[in-house]
Structure 1
Amino acid sequence: MQPVQQRVLEALQNLSPLEQQEVLDFAEFLESKRKTEEKLCVQFTEMANDPDIQAELKAINQEFAATEMDGLGAL
């Protein structure tokens, strides 16, 4: 066991059962959050590489190109 893991284990043993459960619940929450973020990253990558989505974004950009410059004068 690595020194950090040993220190964490020792610290956990000094907690009450309720406090230990709270730490475990928090660790589960962090793991769930990490997995959700990983899934979102994969989904965003898939969307960015999807030809249909790329075409839709290109069409939206073309549609609003004139509007982006509307009202802008010399700066």
Structure 2
Amino acid sequence: MHHQPMPPERVHARRRAIGDQIRAARLWANLSQEEVALRAGITLGPYNRIEQGHAAARIDTLIRVADAIGVPLADLVREE
């Protein structure tokens, strides 16, 4: 079994920042994690790991999450 190398800390930090932006958008839309996961067509566990910044999300998944929340994708991945 081949393991991916651990990404550098700067990648983890940016992943956590994206998760924070997803959480903020979800709360602004007054949606639960369950509602967003259902609307995005993913299960709660993987959605939770994305929002916590513990999992790398594919771009397709981020697009579905943005659509589920009702915000532009850029709002979820914008860097200050």
When normalised by structure 1's length, the TM-score is: 0.34
More helix by share: 1
Relative contact order (alpha carbons < 8 A, sep ≥ 6): 1 or 2 greater? 2
